[in-house]
């Protein structure tokens, strides 16, 4: 993929609840998207990897002061065959984005592969409003337009960190069907969830740059009868075909759900879950896991630094880490074999691993994966979800199961 890389400058401001649908659809077909004059070319000399090895499109997002954390996370999850789009929302200053770009350009591996980009102009991303959903759709649309040969889309926050190496991750995924969607979801909607779905909220972050807080309408709306709700984690791994379905919307379902969730509180807890579960094409592709460690992520005790607490479950990622959390240093040293300021090494790294020499400064074949103990843990983790008969874990409910259709 020999393209000039470094900045992708697609604004996400001034989007109403209706034009949001048009925006994400038209973005896929736009061949002349706006860019600012500041541009940093990065060459690419990477050959295509073996078809057996999947490619992951990572969307890593953060806010004010998260540039360093995003960079550290990028170094920890980096692999030359993947793609990475980094996003700092509008709460972060332009200076912070420029510093992030400078940090990306300073890593030789990124420059050679040309597979890391930074969103140069973003909008607010309020977790409680539709602006967070717009940010996700925007990132997915950019990755589809910019590099459409990836297999899965993974969204990570600046507070996340991997618990296995990318060689472990890609090795296990290479044996799985590429149409699977890993979404933690449930169709058991309680009274609190029902009230959240019936409430009407407006996120000014979609169209008013200085405004951050959402508005709550006094009136309630009736629950729709043409689709059923599913809720779950705001983090997931989505197949490329499902992302294309959400962005291009070749059926009416993605547009109808998007219009409804635009005025729903915390829409990322339900939009992709409901879209997959109500689609005849995708409801049988659901695996009920977000691939993340579930535990007391705020704890920082010695007992949380052993393999039984963080690694025993076999998840690929964990979230909720605070700035300066010493568990990240432990993961770097004990799990990823990553030295400070360097890329986590993999089978493609052939150099000497010393304090004064970067192992990944010398490249081998990027298609070569050398999985370690993490691959076995991750394999067992996936088998627990993929061999169960629990419909809330393995498959969702199809649109044909409800009384009405769109």
Which position has the higher pLDDT, 251 or 259?
A: 259
Round to whole Å and give the CA distance between 316 and 304.
Answer: 17
* Neighbouring-strand partners of residue 236: 183
Closest CA to 155 of 214, 70, 79: 70
The SS3 call for residue 156 is strand
Name the token pair of 259. Answer: 């219009």
Closest CA to 376 of 171, 208, 185: 171
What average pLDDT score do residues 193-216 get? 78
Residue 384 CB: number of other CB atoms within 10 A? 12
The pLDDT value recorded for residue 345 is 95
What average pLDDT score do residues 198-206 get? 85
The pLDDT value recorded for residue 126 is 87
CA 294 to chain centre: 17
pLDDT digits (tens, 9 = 90+) for 265-322: 999 999 999 999 999 999 999 999 999 997 654 454 444 455 567 898 999 999 999 9
* Neighbouring-strand partners of residue 85: 59, 117
Residue positions counted in the chain: 406
Beta strand segments in 267-402, E: 286-287, 292-293, 317-318
Round to whole Å and give the CA distance between 198 and 264.
Answer: 8
Write the CA distances from 382 to 242, 270, 366, 387, integer angstroms. 20, 23, 25, 9
The pLDDT value recorded for residue 209 is 61
Among all chains, which residue has been given the structure tokens 């659901």? Answer: 286
The pLDDT value recorded for residue 227 is 85
Q: How confident is the model at residue 198 (pLDDT cuts 50, 70, 90)?
A: confident
Write the CA distances from 264 to 54, 188, 191, 260, 269, integer angstroms. 34, 18, 15, 7, 10
Residue 144 belongs to what H/E stretch? helix 130-146
pLDDT digits (tens, 9 = 90+) for 35-73: 332 222 333 334 444 447 899 999 999 999 999 999 999
pLDDT digits (tens, 9 = 90+) for 352-382: 777 777 889 888 889 899 999 999 999 999 9
Contact criterion met (CB below 8 Å) for 189 and 229: yes
> What residues have CB less than 8 Å from 280, skipping those under 6 apart?
398, 399, 400
Round to whole Å and give the CA distance between 136 and 133.
Answer: 5
The pLDDT value recorded for residue 46 is 46
Write the CA distances from 197 to 217, 264, 372, integer angstroms. 13, 6, 44
Round to whole Å and give the CA distance between 83 and 374.
Answer: 22
The SS3 call for residue 169 is helix
Name the token pair of 204. Answer: 């000014």
Residue 149 CB: number of other CB atoms within 10 A? 12
């Amino acid at each position: 993929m020999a393209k000039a890389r470094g900045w992708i400058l697609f604004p996400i401001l001034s989007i109403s609840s209706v034009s949001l649908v048009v925006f994400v659809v038209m973005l896929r077909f736009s061949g002349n998207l706006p860019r600012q004059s500041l541009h940093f070319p990065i060459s690419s000399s990477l050959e295509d990897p073996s078809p057996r090895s999947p490619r992951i499109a990572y969307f890593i997002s953060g806010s004010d002061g998260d540039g360093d954390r995003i960079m550290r996370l990028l170094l920890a999850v980096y692999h030359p065959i993947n793609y990475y789009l980094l996003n700092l929302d509008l709460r972060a200053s332009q200076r912070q984005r420029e510093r992030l770009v400078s940090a990306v350009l300073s890593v030789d591996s990124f420059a050679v592969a040309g597979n890391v980009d930074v969103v140069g102009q973003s909008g607010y991303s309020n977790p409680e409003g539709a602006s967070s959903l717009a940010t996700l759709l925007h990132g997915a649309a950019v990755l589809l337009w910019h590099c459409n040969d990836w297999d899965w889309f993974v969204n990570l926050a600046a507070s996340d960190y991997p618990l296995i190496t990318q060689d472990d991750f890609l090795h296990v995924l290479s044996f799985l069907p590429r149409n699977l969607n890993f979404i933690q979801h449930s169709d058991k909607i309680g009274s609190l969830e029902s009230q959240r779905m019936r409430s009407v909220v407006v996120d000014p972050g979609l169209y008013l740059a200085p405004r951050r807080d959402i508005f709550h309408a006094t009136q309630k709306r009736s629950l729709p009868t043409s689709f059923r709700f599913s809720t779950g984690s705001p983090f997931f791994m989505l197949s490329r075909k499902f992302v294309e379905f959400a962005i291009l919307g070749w059926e009416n379902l993605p547009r109808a759900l998007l219009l409804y969730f635009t005025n729903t509180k915390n829409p990322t807890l339900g939009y992709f879950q409901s879209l997959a579960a109500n689609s005849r094409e995708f409801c049988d592709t659901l695996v009920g896991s977000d691939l993340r460690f579930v535990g007391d992520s705020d704890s920082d005790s010695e007992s949380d630094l052993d393999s039984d607490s963080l690694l025993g479950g076999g998840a690929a990622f964990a979230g909720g880490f605070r700035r300066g959390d010493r568990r990240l240093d432990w993961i770097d040293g004990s799990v990823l074999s990553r030295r400070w300021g360097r890329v986590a090494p993999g089978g493609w790294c052939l150099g000497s691993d010393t304090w004064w020499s970067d192992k990944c400064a010398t490249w081998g074949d990027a298609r070569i994966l050398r999985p370690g103990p993490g691959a076995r843990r991750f394999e067992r983790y996936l088998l627990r979800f993929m061999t169960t008969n629990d419909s809330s874990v393995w498959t969702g409910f199809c649109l044909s199961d409800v009384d009405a259709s769109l």
